[in-house]
Chains A and B, each alone.
Chain A
Amino acid sequence: MGWRWFHEWGSPKWFYDRAGRWQRVCGFLALALLLVGTLWGLGFAPADYQQGNSYRIIYLHVPVAFLAQALYVAMAVCAIVLFVWKMKLADVGMQALAVVGFGFTVLALFSGSIWGKPTWGTYWVWDARLTSMLILGFLYLGLIGLRSAIKNPDLAGKACAILVLVGVVNLPIIKYSVEWWSALHQPASFKLTEKPAMPASMWVPLLINLLGYYLVAAYLVLASMRTVILDRERGSAWVREVIERD
């Protein structure tokens, strides 16, 4: 059958070895891209005519916030794969993505509130994007909590998959309702919507950094997937070999 590759992917040992290589590639590429993007963004991109230099946090904030949401969608894909093909690797992926995604959400909130201080004059406002990011963080936290509370790993994985799928259906509803709510309560001047179009010298480094952070996320996810695999397969012979080898 043409499904051989698919089953190979299901083998933890095969994945563990491959992921090690991919992880290194991701790591180096990420380092290179981030170096270029960040230096360019912080050092050479022009200052914003309204916010001056404080806007430069977008080179961290925007990619991180973007990824925090993208990782949730990736988790939903894993959940579907787990239910349809019962592939254990998808469950490992979900577990890793939840932790990494939570990390990115916290970073996005943190960088957002640092940016908020010079822009809004306060660390926290109930802005639509901040609020829905906060809710996203709680969703990630719920997944991590649920998994750690259920002893049976098989059951924990499937319970998390259900929660992820319900969450992913709800996320757009949450996002739109929060936007509506914030429009209801806040004067529009509080928002940064009507910005002039960014010049290329601003958005090119942003794009490079976005790619860079994607690779960072991939690196972290692969690394934590490998750890999870070692933990789950700790009884098997090949894990003992790996541990003795390293």
Chain B
Amino acid sequence: MSVEHRFLVRELKLVLARPGDFFKPMWFLILVISMVPLALSPDSKLLGEIGSAMIWVATLLALLLNADQLFRDDFVDGVLEQWLFFNRPLFWLVILKLFCHWLFYVVPLILVTPLAGMMLSVPNDVMIALLVTLLLATPALTCFSALGAALTLGTARSGILGVLVMLPLFAPVIILAAGVLTRASDGSDILPLLALLGAFSIAAATLLPLAVGVALRLNIGGSS
């Protein structure tokens, strides 16, 4: 079996072996969204206005729940250092890993967001724009949080540091996505902004795995 095939199979089996990691972000998202009307007001007009932004931020935070675990278990068990003996460049393995993570954890989470949209009475056309921005933006976000996770592997315990370190870099993605949502709600053209968002994601998904690879290599070399 090729390395790529083995990677995919293993990631899929890991999802099945750890259902908690799969459902927890969704649970978190719905829970946070149900707190919004309690904290604000049950007025559906008001909720509809801020709903899409709330869902965006809640999804972002839900994504970060699992981010720290991306490499940590494999690093501690010593599986990560075996990656180096596969006949593939490290950044390619990182891309594979991140793609699997995106496909198996992030996409299912995005598919739950329409439910959150209904809870906050977000209009349908805004909801569609929201789904598209999430799909376009999450590859970049996954790459950034992976870098945070890889950089903090050398810390003694797992924690939120990787998220804190990376969150400021999310600003352009959030701004672009919010721009799309504003335009979608007043009915103007969202395509140019979506193109920018997609470009950012593509750039991040091609360049950041290199940095993640260097960070992983550093941590493998630095541990004895």
Taking beta carbons and an 8 Å cutoff, which residues of A are in contact with B?
135, 138-139, 141-143, 145-146, 149-152, 154-156, 158-159, 162-163, 165-167, 169-170, 173-174, 177-178, 180-181, 184
Contacts and interface: CB of A to CB of B under 8 A. Distances in A.
A143 B155 CA distance: 14
Contact of B156 (A145, A151, A154, A184): A151
Contacts of B164: 141-142, 145
Given A159-B215, A162-B215, A151 B154 contact: yes
Given A150-B154, A162-B151, 11 more contacts: A138-B167, A139-B169, A155-B219, A155-B222, A162-B215, A163-B165, A167-B169, A173-B172, A174-B168, A181-B175, A184-B182
A162 B208 CA distance: 10
Nearest to B166: A142
Given A142-B164, A150-B155, A152-B154, A174 B169 contact: yes
B171 A166 contact: no
B15 interface: no
A199 to B, nearest CB: 37
Contact of B154 (A156, A167, A169, A170): A156
A161 to B, nearest CB: 9
15 contacts: A149-B155, A150-B154, A151-B155, A151-B156, A156-B154, A159-B152, A159-B215, A162-B151, A162-B214, A174-B169, A177-B176, A180-B179, A181-B175, A184-B179, A184-B182
Nearest to A136: B168
Contacts of B214: 162
A150 B222 CA distance: 11
Nearest to B163: A142
B218 interface: yes
A166 B172 contact: no
A150 B147 CA distance: 15
B172 A163 contact: no
Nearest to B179: A184
B218 A158 contact: yes
Contact of A166 (B154, B182, B208, B218): B208
Contacts of B169: 139, 166-167, 170, 174
Nearest to A171: B169
Contacts of A142: 164-166, 168
A59 to B, nearest CB: 29
Given A149-B161, A150-B155, A151-B156, A159 B172 contact: no
Contacts of A178: 171, 175
B156 A146 contact: no
Given A174-B171, A174-B172, A166 B161 contact: no
